[in-house]
Amino acid sequence: MAFDSDIAEIARRLLDMPEPMPDAGDLVADFQIAELDGRPPVPAAVLIALIRRGSGYTVLYTERSNSLRNHSGQVAFPGGRIDPEDQDAAYAALREANEEVALDPADADILGFMPYYYTGTNYFITPVVAVVDPKRPFIANPGEVDDVFEVPVETLIDDASYGKFRVHHRGQERRSWQIDHEGHRIWGITANLTRRFRDSVLVGEAEHAEP
């Protein structure tokens, strides 16, 4: 895949603006985990960073610190809540990436946005896609991230890279995609978003497959 020549096509497959949040009653979660008790959804943003390397493009992931209260030890995209002072989802995603792995926002070129992803933990996530030409190494913030790693785009495009992850919660089976890469296991929200990115953005399929 001559990926440099495909960046413009990838940008055309993305939204120019983040999707607005629908009425809470119209949101359908990927998998209901907690009782929400009428709490409003929490706006959040993640950065799907296409890292330009000499050998080709990779996608950036983090392994969350084991000391964190939520989702400790799990693989995630850089990201987090959109704070009231954040200008928009792109600003929030780049801010979080800077805090978590020292990604310089000046090294990133925002290509666009993917459709929102609503989680069973009540997060309304806007995936922000950017090309990043890093001028310095990424450094994991030990308070938030135990490790930072990259997966080649060719690996993510390959359908054979995707398995299925199953876990039971409150008598229900939860399924997600699963990607194993060099000792890291990507599953849950991050794997599902990766698969959507693969299907609709990297490959350009009209519909994405379900786990």
pLDDT in 10s for each residue of the chain, 211 residues: 456 778 999 999 999 999 999 987 788 877 655 566 678 899 999 999 999 999 899 999 999 876 545 544 589 999 999 999 999 999 999 999 999 999 999 999 999 999 999 998 889 999 999 999 999 999 999 888 999 999 999 999 999 999 999 876 666 778 899 999 999 999 999 999 999 999 999 999 877 778 8
**pLDDT digit string (tens) for 43-81?**
999 999 999 999 899 999 999 876 545 544 589 999 999
Architecture of domain 3-157: Alpha-Beta Complex (3.90)
Question: What element of type H or E holds 63?
Answer: strand 56-64
List of long-range contacts for 80-88, beta carbons under 8 Å, 24+ apart? 80/44, 80/45, 81/42, 81/43, 81/44, 82/43, 82/44, 82/45, 82/126, 88/18
Q: Would you put residue 183 in left (φ > 0), alpha (ψ -120 to 50) or beta?
A: left
**Prediction pTM value:** 0.92
For the chain, domain boundaries: 3-157
Instruction: Identify residue 54 by its one-letter amino acid code.
Output: G
The beta-strand segments (E) located in 94-137 are 108-113, 117-118, 123-132
Asked if 186 contacts 178 with a C-beta cutoff of 8 angstroms, the reply is yes
Q: Under DSSP, is residue 171 helix (H, G, I), strand (E, B) or coil?
A: coil
Q: What 3-state DSSP class applies to 42?
A: strand
